[in-house]
Structure 1
């Protein structure tokens, strides 16, 4: 019963098969191979836009380099208080941008509102000595498993663009959000005002496949140079491309996310029926129930892997835990977890 993270899952069989299929002969290095170009065209088809695509080794690398591409002195990056770039990336954005400051905006259930963003931006008027709002970074799906609608994204980017800010989306769980919303990738990104996307596939069935997808190259510059200098330029780029080739084939990426989301719904519904409250609505593939300590001990004794998440809520006898489902989560594991949690 593995619910610690979708990073714990392996790679899907079609992704592995694609890597094996493309592991023949020789191919030009550093992203100049035909497969990388073909996959780039696949991204263009999926997003209905003439995007540029730059592979990176990690999502942290994609996020930090995206911010480095728009960095300026005394720059400020507005984001949520729970954002991965703010809480979990070891200061990577600050490091790669030579000191741009991350400014957390008031956050409710992982999301920020356009009104709160506008108020935060207003604290830094033109010419002030407190910093210059440069970028907005939204996480989709959020670290709380909640999702912004395209209209909400558009409202947020609209508020940011009144000050000429670059709009970035951290899409580590992009596919999970997309499946929940039922919209198109274009509607969730550039049509809603996003300039650059960190597109994550590692959490959703790939081995190591992350990319910066650039919709508006005039807003983020020197990414090719920044990526190479940061050590994120793969020499054997075709093996990252191969993963994306298997990932996208026949809508496989959406099927993987659909299963993960369905397991999260099954898990949340079972826990709710057993009387456990949930800290956040379940929209993607994360569930945050509040469990009593005896139940937590019983689950761990049965071999369940998960993390306590007190920031999502706690009381004298209960604490929130984070449960993350993946493309590989079996229904039997969900049902067994719910059975044990039910006492």
Structure 2
């Protein structure tokens, strides 16, 4: 009954086997090995972007922060939603790696920025001369921290607003695979063809031990990224072990299969929650994440039974057993219907 985060699930056996295969003999260090070159070419092919610069880093925070550093000057601001991961979960890393760029937060109740809200936010900056921050990149989270998904048309519309102001677009794609599976479109359609300049293509939340790909669709930014990655201590010496994971991820579209399983597990759990009559669903369920409310007493029962998930709002120790508290439940590729059935049985007991 573990629905705490897709970060906490096991690595897929294919990734472990790939590491064992890579752990033979000697290979050039710092990303100069043949396996890294192979992975870069495979990602270019997957995204229909033969000129893209592709780099591997071990964490999502590094991917986002280094990407934004290449898109921002220290005196600029990054436009993102108030609940964006780069705002609430990265301990100021984007501000640190950009040298102090500000984050301009845009209200988005369902996690998704709108063109109208983005236009208003952009208009609010770069109008105080030397005394105010200048306009910088737009950052989108796909899927969002609310578990919602930007459609291709929505990404295109937001990118058009950014382009109208000559601003680049960054996409935090830690759950890009989950979004892509749900939409049924191609990686290119949901990224550069929709106006995204830099995509962080996630692997850690989707069955890998720890690797993310930063895809710069404009290769002119490549050298700066390399320098920033090295300076930030994120250039692995034994780089082939990052590449091995990503190679397994790409082989046979494993990334797509794992995201499909995670989304399906989420749908199964969602249907059970709805059928139980105990849960109020808070946001549209579009990826592999559920936000729902049910009474404090039921939360206490579930935790006592060994369920693991995030209590998103309220306190478990409050006085009113009937007070609804919001939970976040996330399904990873390894989640099973048996896990969900046990959870639902305790919810309804």
The answer to whether TM tops 0.5 is yes
Deviations along 1:97-137, one digit per CA (max 9) or x if unpaired, are 11100011121211110111011101124563322111000
**Secondary structure of 1:6's aligned partner:** coil
Aligned to 2:22: 22
Is the 1:70–1:221 contact (alpha carbons within 8 Å) kept by the matching residues of 2?
no
Aligned to 1:54: 55
Is the 1:195–1:215 contact (alpha carbons within 8 Å) kept by the matching residues of 2?
yes
**Secondary structure of 2:188's aligned partner:** helix
TM-score if structure 1 supplies the norm length? 0.96
User: Which of 311, 328, 331 pairs up with 2:334?
Assistant: 328
Q: CA RMSD in A?
A: 1.6
Q: After superposition, where does 1:96-111 map in structure 2 within 5 Å?
A: 96-111=97-112
Q: After superposition, where does 1:45-124 map in structure 2 within 5 Å?
A: 45-50=45-50, 51-124=52-125
TM-score if structure 2 supplies the norm length? 0.95
| Structure 1 position 339 matched with structure 2 position 337 | no
Q: Distance in 2 between matches of 1:19 and 1:271?
A: 39
Q: Distance in 2 between matches of 1:10 and 1:163?
A: 43
Is the 1:271–1:342 contact (alpha carbons within 8 Å) kept by the matching residues of 2?
no
**Secondary structure of 2:119's aligned partner:** helix
Is the 1:195–1:219 contact (alpha carbons within 8 Å) kept by the matching residues of 2?
no
Is the 2:53–2:218 contact (alpha carbons within 8 Å) kept by the matching residues of 1?
no
**Secondary structure of 1:232's aligned partner:** coil
Q: CA deviation at 1:17?
A: 1.0
Q: Distance in 1 between matches of 2:148 and 2:6?
A: 16
| Structure 1 position 240 matched with structure 2 position 242 | yes
Which ranges of 4 or more aligned residues in structure 1 deviate by more than 4 Å?
Answer: none
Which blocks of at least 5 consecutive residues in structure 2 are unaligned?
Answer: 315-319
Q: CA deviation at 1:91?
A: 0.4
Is the 2:54–2:215 contact (alpha carbons within 8 Å) kept by the matching residues of 1?
yes
Aligned to 2:325: 319
Q: Distance in 1 between matches of 2:21 and 2:327?
A: 40
Q: Distance in 2 between matches of 1:278 and 1:152?
A: 23
Q: Distance in 2 between matches of 1:248 and 1:47?
A: 12
Aligned to 2:154: 152
- Count the aligned residue pairs: 341
